[in-house]
A and B are shown apart, each in its own frame.
Chain A
Amino acid sequence: MPVPPGVLIRKDILPFLPANIKTLFQNLDEQHYSGLEEIRLRCGKPLSLRIGEEDFALDMRGRLDPHLACGYMVSAEDIQRAVASISDNSLYAFEEEIGRGFITIPGGHRVGLAGQTILDGNHPRTMKHFSGVAFRIAREVKGCAEGIARFITAQEWPPGNTLLISPPRCGKTTILRDLARILSLGFGRHRGCNVVIVDERSELAGTYQGQTQMDVGPRTDVLDCCPKAAGMIMAIRSLAPQVIVTDEIGRGEDIDAIRDCVNAGVSVVTSLHGRDIEEVRKRPLIRELLGSNAFVNIVVLSRRNGPGTIDNMIRWDG
């Protein structure tokens, strides 16, 4: 039975907020919690909540207000307390995560950080003087990918290479996670297959201290915080996957790694930022990849009827 969003957020997110901000959340009702996607703390700015398509401020009495200026003003101390709490008062233990710009907390929720970046050569090593904290609430919607699973497995099992095209915040990560679970568990008359999730940003499996916080299926291995291209090659060499699931491809090395997977007979289920096929074909690397018929299924997502709306499902033949 799914946990109500209010219970989930009170358990997973609110303990990490400073006590004075936590009390402001007491008046929120279940309806607001169910649509809550982000909580943003910015130093010297109003506390804002992203609920559905809109931003609301949370005022001093804990009431939602569409006028952000009316919100509770977040202080530097609030930010410091939130960062201390998220990092278990141990920033040194999270240097790698902070260098990537976020920390994953129990429950698989991602907390984005803003502040002064400290570089090691050209690469961000860590941050100091934090100025903003963004809690992104991870949601697990079991069964949300069943329609897509039915489409991509109609002709072959494991499914052929599948590409989800979606603008940001349209539920592609949630759908990819559920697809991994379905393929790992088995679907219809098909037995489950070995799935490897290459999770560069700990979003798909929401791994916290080595433990996946989301249900990604019984035959799924997770390469957490692993660059996509390197992860796909590692998985082929060592984990004997039938399907590799990864998120947000786009760089040249990702495309090369997908070709290696195709040559090794391993299916890839992945996603790409974009509104539709025409838009993504304007990118030379993607046009080349689609032209080589590397993908047999293409699914286009939107937010037209809420996150996860399927705009189009295509059998791709170039």
Chain B
Amino acid sequence: MLGGKLLGVILIIGGCGCYGLRSADRLRKRVAQLVDIRLALACLEKEINYLHTPLPAALSRAAQGAAEPARSLFTGTSRDLQTREGITVNEAWQRNLRSLGSYTDLNSQDLELLQIISPQLGMSGVEEQVKLLAMVQEQLKVQEGKARLEEDSGRKLRIYGGFAFGATVVLLLL
């Protein structure tokens, strides 16, 4: 009987603690993912500005040095455009952004920011493309700053909060 109770206590505290740890880890990963996407966009900007590389190839090259989910977003869009089935950049980008789904730690604001690129991407001159990509990178930097603040303030709270919440639940049940 006592063994069962002890096991229950461990499970509740452990479960809540793990949830807190995972939540804290998502804050850290969000910052890293925003940095990766911004660096991939910087690479794309260079391909467009200096080499005038066509977009499917430029996206593919920018994806080479990027980590997930930036790599999936860029390679997926590039692959869709190369099928030559009349799909536009906007459609390909949105489709791949949606398919990032649950395996990204970006929040809805970050995703909305990434959505604003696609109607213009590829569809204007070099100067306008560089301006567009520079603007999005600037906005991503702002999001990075916010994400870092959130990480600093929220990380410990979530880790300790998870375990503390588990302990509270146990106390209430007892």
Interfacial residues, chain A to chain B (CB-CB below 8 A):
15, 17-19, 22, 80-81, 84-85, 87-93, 95, 118, 125-126, 128
Residues from chain B with Cβ under 8 Å of A95 in the complex: 52, 125-126
Residues from chain A with Cβ under 8 Å of B125 in the complex: 91-92, 95, 118, 125-126
Taking a contact as CB atoms closer than 8 A, the residue among A19, A80, A128 that contacts B124 in the complex is A128
Q: Convert B82-95 into 0s and 1s, putting 1 for each residue whose CB lies closer than 8 angstroms to a CB of A.
A: 00111011000000
Q: Which of B1-9, B21-29, B53-61, B146-154 lies on the face that meets chain A?
A: B53-61
A92 and B124 contact, CB distance less than 8 A: yes
The count of residues in chain B whose C-beta lies closer than 8 Å to any C-beta of chain A is 21
**10 A–B contacts, CB within 8 A, in A order:** A81-B86, A85-B84, A85-B86, A88-B56, A88-B81, A89-B88, A92-B52, A92-B125, A93-B52, A95-B52
Distance (whole angstroms) from the CB of B75 to the closest CB of chain A: 15
Interfacial residues, chain B to chain A (CB-CB below 8 A):
48, 52-56, 58, 81, 84-86, 88-89, 121-126, 128-129
Distance (whole angstroms) from the CB of B63 to the closest CB of chain A: 16
Taking a contact as CB atoms closer than 8 A, the residue among A18, A19, A89, A126 that contacts B122 in the complex is A89
Taking a contact as CB atoms closer than 8 A, the residue among A17, A18, A84, A92 that contacts B126 in the complex is A92
B88 and A80 contact, CB distance less than 8 A: yes
Given contacts A81-B86, A89-B121, 11 further A-B contacts (CB under 8 A): A18-B86, A19-B85, A88-B81, A89-B56, A89-B81, A89-B89, A90-B56, A91-B122, A92-B122, A92-B129, A128-B124
Give B77's nearest chain A residue, CB to CB: A89
Residues from chain A with Cβ under 8 Å of B129 in the complex: 92
Distance of A185 Cα from B122 Cα, bound (Å):
42
Residues from chain B with Cβ under 8 Å of A84 in the complex: 88-89, 122-123
Residues from chain B with Cβ under 8 Å of A91 in the complex: 122-125
- Give me the 4 closest cross-chain CB pairs, A-B, nearest first: A90-B54, A90-B55, A89-B122, A92-B126
B123 and A19 contact, CB distance less than 8 A: no
Distance (whole angstroms) from the CB of B135 to the closest CB of chain A: 16
Distance of A81 Cα from B56 Cα, bound (Å):
16
A88 and B54 contact, CB distance less than 8 A: yes
Residues from chain A with Cβ under 8 Å of B123 in the complex: 84, 89, 91
Distance of A87 Cα from B53 Cα, bound (Å):
12
Distance (whole angstroms) from the CB of B56 to the closest CB of chain A: 7
Residues from chain B with Cβ under 8 Å of A19 in the complex: 85-86
Give B84's nearest chain A residue, CB to CB: A15
Distance (whole angstroms) from the CB of B41 to the closest CB of chain A: 15
Residues from chain A with Cβ under 8 Å of B86 in the complex: 17-19, 22, 81, 85
Distance of A298 Cα from B85 Cα, bound (Å):
47
Distance of A92 Cα from B81 Cα, bound (Å):
16
Residues from chain A with Cβ under 8 Å of B48 in the complex: 92
Residues from chain B with Cβ under 8 Å of A93 in the complex: 52-55
* Most chain B CB atoms below 10 A, which of A81, A89, A126: A89
Distance of A84 Cα from B120 Cα, bound (Å):
11
Residues from chain A with Cβ under 8 Å of B121 in the complex: 89
Distance of A92 Cα from B58 Cα, bound (Å):
12
* Most chain A CB atoms below 10 A, which of B54, B58, B121: B54
Distance of A18 Cα from B128 Cα, bound (Å):
25
Distance (whole angstroms) from the CB of A6 to the closest CB of chain B: 19
Give B48's nearest chain A residue, CB to CB: A92
Residues from chain B with Cβ under 8 Å of A126 in the complex: 125
A89 and B126 contact, CB distance less than 8 A: no
Distance (whole angstroms) from the CB of A21 to the closest CB of chain B: 9
Distance of A215 Cα from B107 Cα, bound (Å):
56
Distance of A22 Cα from B84 Cα, bound (Å):
13
Residues from chain B with Cβ under 8 Å of A87 in the complex: 122
Distance (whole angstroms) from the CB of A242 to the closest CB of chain B: 35
